[in-house]
Chains A and B, each alone.
Chain A
Amino acid sequence: MSVASLERLLERRFSGAAVHGAVDAPPRGWRTGIASVDLALGSAGLPQGRLSELFGERSSGKTTLAYAVLAACTRSGEIGAYVDPEAGLFAPAAAAAGIDLARLIVVRPTQIDALRRAVDALVRSGACSVVVLDGWSVNALQTPHYARLAAQAQRHGTTLIVLSHGTSQALASFASLRIHLLGTTALWQPGCDGSDRLSGYRIAFTIAKSKIGTPGKGATFDVQFPEVAGSWPATAASIDAAAAAFDGEEEAEARRVSSA
């Protein structure tokens, strides 16, 4: 039965205009900038005002996808929030992923009650366009909490993203979008000295549920390290060279000022 026929049926049944309000416009969303993800999600991207779940095992690519959305949010001038009870957010990696950290509120609660209050405050304020819940946040929230958060997110247009292992039935029920991150595959590259070098990793995903687009689509995308032969946290030689250059400049300037 089409919507129009249902509307006619209701009007006939209740003798008048029984259906009020316009049909909801398609929700706006955040495009991640990752071609394969955006293609799978459709034109809207990650929906605004909805609860989305990114789930998968450890090292499956959840954080990469969340960083992409936060980067889109902060680069467009909006404010994002990251609820990080395990203190896993690493600022250099987040900055390298394009997040403007000056526009990201990081909340690190250690108690369950504090976490619930913090999440509620962030979502209900409407001040943060994207709120990401990470770590054990998913275990601290139960069905009524998800119901309230989903309603508040819809009311204020906040994109609420929960990173989980996919074990919460309540979260799965209230999520408008569920993306299953299937895992990462390391991309090794032989180095000039015979040893292996990690050039990046490949993330596979599939859309497990979508109330906006079509579920079931999946694809992969590659994440590449900034330097193919690079190391983490940083190339020692480059840091030493930068320090030496800085020291040299200081001394030269001191000599110039003294002689002047």
Chain B
Amino acid sequence: MSAAHECPSPRIAALCISEFLIQVCLQVHPALAGRPLAVADGVSRREIIACNRLARGVRSGMTPKQARAACPGLVVIARDEQREREATVELLEALERCSPVVEAARCGLYFFDIRGLAHEETRAVGAAVAVAEALGLSASAAVADDKFSAACAAWTGGGCSVVPPGGSAAFLAPLPVSLLPLAPGDGERFDLLGVRVLGQIAALPAGPLAARFGERARSYSALARGEDREPLRPRRAQTIHEERFAFESPVDRLEPLFFALRGCLAGIADRLAGAGHACDQLDVVLVMDATNSLHKTPAVVETRVRLAEPTASSAVMFDLTRIALESREGIGAVEAIIVRGAPCGDPLPQLGLFDGAAGSRQAALAAALARLQAALPPHDVVTLQPRLERSRLPERMQERIPISSPRQFARAGVRSKRVSRARIECPVTAAHPPPVWAPALRLLDPPQPMRAPEDDAARAGPFRLSESWWEQPVERDYYQMTDRTGSLVLAFVDLREGGWYVHGVFD
């Protein structure tokens, strides 16, 4: 028996539910059918994330007010994530009766494996569409050799379509480039180059494409040729560990809350450890006292705590959760506490032999960052990066990057060896100290006025900068000089107004 018979070539079906969020909302509010409809999400439901075809002029990212201005009569409803989850689970469970390998790629797009059904493919995808329609969702489906081709066929074909084996490239050739998962700006670049359909990308040689688009070129080219190698990622049943604690009477102090929290987290940590799992995110739900009518408090207060790394240590979980709760002001009277922890996909890190040995540094960093972010606004806890290409003005030559996660320092550790611009070797490991040092400039932002220097004062310059003529014109002559107090400074004279300013101090 040949290998081809033992392992048939992959055939992947895609089930596409267009306007999934709208369809789910219509299940909850059937009276809105036939009206222009938009779904809002984000902070305080201020962002439109989906709309139906009747909502002309409405785009994702608009505020509800903008959307209503663009489309009079528009109905904006809040996203119902609970119902979306339920609909997705129902659909996946139904599809798993048809195929053992089912992947939920994103909301409204599902893949399943139908290899080996050479003559029954049309019936198989028809059954999938029927399953979706039985759940009240209008869908289209298609079969192809790879996920991207199948998804494109489902999006563009409608109903049930089958791309024959080996025919993906020919099928994709006339389709527009916009179907690719393009990085920001790449669509415009393809358009400027006159490349508008996938067949043109497939025909391009790899070298020039890679020179233009870098690593992404390989992905674009493979997808356009119908050679998407990404395997199916079947979903696995995920157990969410949940612990609850109800107080005998509502508590409004943090101490009893933390006492209960510690017990809940210990229970979750035990269950995670027992299953050999780790958790990198916790959800804490505080059920508030409903009888307290003096203060208008919400029924529940939810707090999401992101851990620095996957862990099953209750102490680490407790530290970060406590900081997160302490940073919230005026929690109010709490009736019950619910803590949920879902096992993460990452493998459990190697545990140390002794308590506190494993991951303690990373956990300490996470705790420090959590405390900093509780005490300061996000833009005051940052890393800085030089941006020399952005501007020649010192105040624009750097960028603040807010610290989103302690994990970025772990990633930075891998990259740190690549920093070759630095002229200083690590003194700990260097055999000989370097002879040359770079000057340390302390920036003064905004620049401070200074008295004009004497004509015979020693100074280097001028170095002329002229920039931003289209917004705020800047014309400066920079000098390195010693000011009247004897400090070595970077100063400039503003050519537009004639004043002298200190912009930095060499310290």
Contact = CB atoms under 8 A, between A and B. Distances in A.
A33 B369 CA distance: 30
| Main SS at interface, chain B | mixed
Interface in B459-483: 459-461, 463-465, 478, 480, 482
Given A90-B504, A186-B482, A188-B458, A258 B194 contact: yes
B194 A253 contact: no
Nearest to B436: A224
Interface residues of B, number: 86
A101 B385 contact: yes
A31 B424 CA distance: 12
B211 interface: yes
B381 A105 contact: yes
Contacts of A71: 422, 424, 426-427
A118 B205 CA distance: 54
B382 A59 contact: no
Interface in A65-118: 66-68, 71-72, 74-77, 79, 87-110, 114, 117-118
B206 to A, nearest CB: 10
B419 interface: yes
Contacts of A191: 460
B367 A125 contact: yes
A96 B388 CA distance: 12
Interface stretch (A14-22, A142-150, A197-205): A197-205
B450 interface: no
A110 B426 contact: no
Interface stretch (A169-177, A207-215, A226-234): A226-234
A13 B421 CA distance: 63
A201 B384 CA distance: 26
A220 interface: no
B398 to A, nearest CB: 4
Contact of A260 (B204, B387, B416, B464): B204
Q: What DSSP secondary structure best describes chain A's contact surface?
A: mixed
A60 interface: yes
Contacts of A222: 437
B507 interface: yes
Contacts of A32: 427
B375 A90 contact: no
Contacts of A68: 424, 427, 437
Given A33-B424, A75-B426, A256-B208, A100 B412 contact: yes
B73 to A, nearest CB: 46
B212 interface: yes
B380 A197 contact: no
Interface residues of A, number: 88
A118 B381 CA distance: 10
Nearest to A45: B427
B276 interface: no
Contact of B383 (A45, A101, A122, A234): A101
A104 to B, nearest CB: 6
Contacts of B384: 89, 91, 94, 101, 104, 106
Contacts of B425: 33, 75, 98
Interface string B398-431: 1110010000110011011001011111111110
A101 B211 CA distance: 29
B392 A234 contact: yes
A99 B398 CA distance: 14
Interface stretch (B13-21, B86-94, B169-177, B441-449): B441-449
Contacts of B372: 105, 107, 118, 121-122
B209 to A, nearest CB: 7
Contacts of B430: 33
Contacts of A110: 380
B507 A62 contact: yes
A64 B507 contact: yes
A140 interface: no
B439 A106 contact: no
A127 B422 contact: no
B507 A60 contact: yes
A195 interface: yes
A73 B414 CA distance: 15
Interface string A53-67: 000011111111011
Contacts of A118: 371-372, 375-376
A184 interface: yes
Q: List the 3 closest A-B pairs by CB distance, nearest first.
A: A98-B424, A33-B427, A125-B368
Interface of B: 192-195, 204-205, 208-209, 211-212, 361, 364-365, 367-369, 371-372, 375-376, 380-388, 392-394, 397-400, 403, 408-409, 412-413, 415-416, 419, 421-430, 433-434, 436-445, 458-461, 463-465, 478, 480, 482, 485-490, 504-507
24 contacts: A45-B427, A58-B487, A63-B440, A63-B507, A74-B416, A75-B426, A89-B442, A90-B398, A91-B399, A92-B386, A93-B438, A96-B439, A98-B425, A102-B383, A103-B409, A105-B381, A105-B403, A109-B375, A117-B371, A127-B361, A184-B488, A188-B458, A195-B460, A231-B463
